[in-house]
Amino acid sequence: MTDLAKNLHTEHMVINMGPSHPVTHGTVKFLVTLDGETIVDFDVEIGYLHRGFEKMCENSTWEQVFPYTDRLNYLSPIINNVGYALAVEKLIGIDTPERCKYVRVIVSELSRLADHLTNVAASGLELGAFTAFLYFVEARDLIWDLLESVCGARLTSNYVRIGGLKNDLPDGFKEQTKEVFKRCRELWIDVDKLLTKNRIFIDRLKDVCIMPPDEAIAWGFTGPCLRASGVPYDVRKAQPYLVYDQIDFEIPIGEKGDNFDRYLVRMEEINQSMRIVEQALDKLPDGPINVDMPEYRWQSKDDIYTKIESLIFHFKTVTGGIRVPQGEVYFPVEGANGEVGFYLVSDGSGKPYKCRVRPPCFPLTAAMPRMIKGALIADIVPTFDMIHMIGGECDR
Amino acid sequence: MIADLIEAIAKILFVFGVNMGFFAPILGWVERKQSAVMQDRVGANRADIFGFTLIGLLHPLSDTIKLITKEDFIPAGANKLFHTLAPFISLTPALITFAVVPFGGQYEIFGRRINLVVADLDVGILFVFAFASLATYGTVLAGWSSNNNWSFLGGLRAAAQMLSYEVAMGLSIIGIIMVYGSLKLTEIGAMQTDFFKWGIFLQPIGFILFLTCAIAENKRAPFDIPEAETEIVAGYFTEYSSMKFIMFWMGEFLEMVTISGIITTLFLGAWHLPFISDERLLSLFGFAGPNGSIIMLMMANIATFFGKIIFMIWFQMTIRWTLPRFRYDQIMKLGWKIMLPISLINIFITGLVVLLK
């Protein structure tokens, strides 16, 4: 056989997958070396969506960074908002009111829902299960309707502020959420029937691109992909922020760390997120949503237009930015895709001296060659779907 | 003589018209609408003439106009002859195969014997297989001549898949040939008068095997790896545009119709209605006189036949919009390690039963 192969004069085929290829959503390029259908070598080239987020932040005031953070992981922008706000608040030393914390948890989990729904839906779509895709896109649209009623935007929310929120939850939000979740659960069951017990779907995902726990940690995995490998690390449990320690929820973990485990973890996290939102809505206390510190958070417009002190604070914070004390801080939150961390350095001026993001999908994307070598060209599809690389976050 | 010619031409026109004039354009619409229904969507409903959208029925027309007016692009370095030839090769076999599929029985009208099949070949089934394998050349040539890596991979996949499934497909049909003792599709169809003598009851495993292989042969989901758009862009027709692109689609739709026709003939009682025999129908239509009643019976049989075809098309589309796609090696494993042994066992058991009877 070996002699035969030697005499065939075959050579490897090198093909560029992307940046505009159906599977390389989020704009990334794979340089794939193929031996027939088997992947011999695999290179990931990122950077097609590089916008200079970190440099832009250095030229804007602390509050002006929020819209930029929306564009990091654009499927769950509010989690980025919350992460950045919490980092700045830690640097200043602000403790936000209880109601604000609960609302932040609610909107974060809704974003996580939207993110996971999109991820599972897109995976279905790319494996050819178009129907499952549209079922979950309907669910995501309902979640987006909720977020729209909260902050007026569906995708780029820009909802959280340093020391508070842009606005409170709208009237009747709890009832609306209940209805939406009822429909979401129906759709979840439909998709579960279509995919989880589907032999073809299982065959495509199971035992593909396994990542053992020790290697996953070494590569810097976080989030659902790490949990799928069996490591129960979740920032919400490991270092509870906001009010996650007062809410009863579970972290699903996988057994093997293959693509099917990653899918199952995400499916279960959808349920857990809905549980969290429902509990938080039940426990939601009354009270203010903003801290009473006019040097950091504007007071209400009524005050600004009628009281001279409020007007002065407003003028100073808008034109010069809030004065964050000197120092540096790192604050991680559990993003939909893993640990989103903000490392901030302040020199005491109105602008961040340095704003560095730890994007969860960067290490995941970096591990693509490790996972995919030796697999088939068709395995790129579920693997790349399951690591869920988001260009905006990875390339920044 | 002239009457024979007229009859033959009429039948050819009928088959050609139904396929090219009805099924080919309408199936695009059906696919869009059915997927829409399955996915809680509205589906295509924008194309209109003076505000009349006709529930989206004008979309096939506007699609065709759009695609005809597009640039017919041949990539640099492509083999021009084969690149142009490929879509024709994949379209024609689907059309030709329908020639041996009987869409009705034999009737005596005005003293003339009419056999509702374009070509009543003695080796009908073999003809079907011969032409089904010709369609492989279309895809392989398209993939190879495009001078594109994705097309090339698609062509390779198509070649491997279609050849493998041809084997299992051929073997899955042996059972039915043994049971009915004929290779002639008209005879097989005529033998399925009794509901419980339909092929699907005599050869249930053969039916499932043949249906699966037929879908794989037609490269439709879940067996659509030669064109798997998320893996290899559009597979073998990545580099096709304009009318050649639509010809591949027409070929796929017509192949679906042909496969449904063959399945109907072999397994679903051809043109016979369940529980209602032709004699009973004839007596029901007795009011129309001897010739009139036979014409009405003929119409009823043709309608039954095409009704079954439409049902099978619906079934294939439901599968297509429900299941995800296989992986290349899984398709090969399914074909060689599962379908082939099962069809061999099926032949063995059928042979045993036929022998002992």
Q: What is the pLDDT of residues A251-288, one digit of tens each?
A: 888 888 888 888 889 889 898 888 899 888 888 888 88
Q: Does a structural domain hold residue B57?
A: no
Q: SS in 3 state form for A205-238? A: HCCCCCCCHHHHHHHCCCHHHHHHCCCCCCHHHH
Tell which B residues from 50 to 109 touch A, by Cβ distance under 8 Å: none
3-state secondary structure of A318: helix
List, for chain A, all residue ranges whose pLDDT scores fall below the cut of 50.
none
Q: Please, are residues A365 and A389 in contact by the beta-carbon 8 Å criterion?
A: yes
Tell which A residues from 123 to 142 touch B, by Cβ distance under 8 Å: 124-131, 134-135, 138
Q: Does a structural domain hold residue B51?
A: no
Residue B231 in contact with partner chain A when CB distance is under 8 A: yes
Residue A198 in contact with partner chain B when CB distance is under 8 A: yes
Task: Please name the member of B149, B232, B325 whose beta carbon is closest to the beta carbon of A128.
Answer: B325
Q: Does a structural domain hold residue B164?
A: yes
Distance from CA of A353 to the nearest CA of B (A): 42
Q: Does a structural domain hold residue B225?
A: yes
Q: Please, are residues A128 and B228 in contact by the beta-carbon 8 Å criterion?
A: yes
Rounded to the nearest 10°, the torsion over CA B190, B196, B197, B200 is 100
Q: Check CB contact under 8 Å for B231 and A378.
A: yes
pTM of this prediction?
0.83
pLDDT, block means (10 residues), chain B with 357 residues: 79 80 80 83 80 79 84 82 86 83 77 76 82 82 85 86 84 85 81 79 85 84 79 81 83 85 85 77 74 80 86 87 84 87 89 84
Note the pLDDT of residue A4. 63
Sequence-distant contacts of A7-12: CB under 8 A, at least 24 apart: A10/A35, A12/A40, A12/A41
d(Cα A215, Cα B255) in Å, to the nearest integer?
Answer: 49
Q: Does a structural domain hold residue B192?
A: yes
Q: Check CB contact under 8 Å for A127 and B224.
A: no
Distance from CA of A119 to the nearest CA of B (A): 15
Q: Check CB contact under 8 Å for B323 and A37.
A: no
ipTM surpasses 0.90: no
Note the pLDDT of residue A7. 67
Chain B interface disruption, residue of A377, A380, A383, A385, most B CBs within 10 A: A377
Domain with B264 in it: 74-356
Q: Does a structural domain hold residue B272?
A: yes
Q: Does a structural domain hold residue B87?
A: yes
Q: Does a structural domain hold residue B24?
A: no
Note the pLDDT of residue A45. 87
Residue B323 in contact with partner chain A when CB distance is under 8 A: yes
Distance from CA of A151 to the nearest CA of B (A): 27
Note the pLDDT of residue A386. 85
Domain A54-293+324-367, classified CATH 3.20.20.70, yes or no: no
Residue A381 in contact with partner chain B when CB distance is under 8 A: yes
Distance from CA of B317 to the nearest CA of A (A): 12
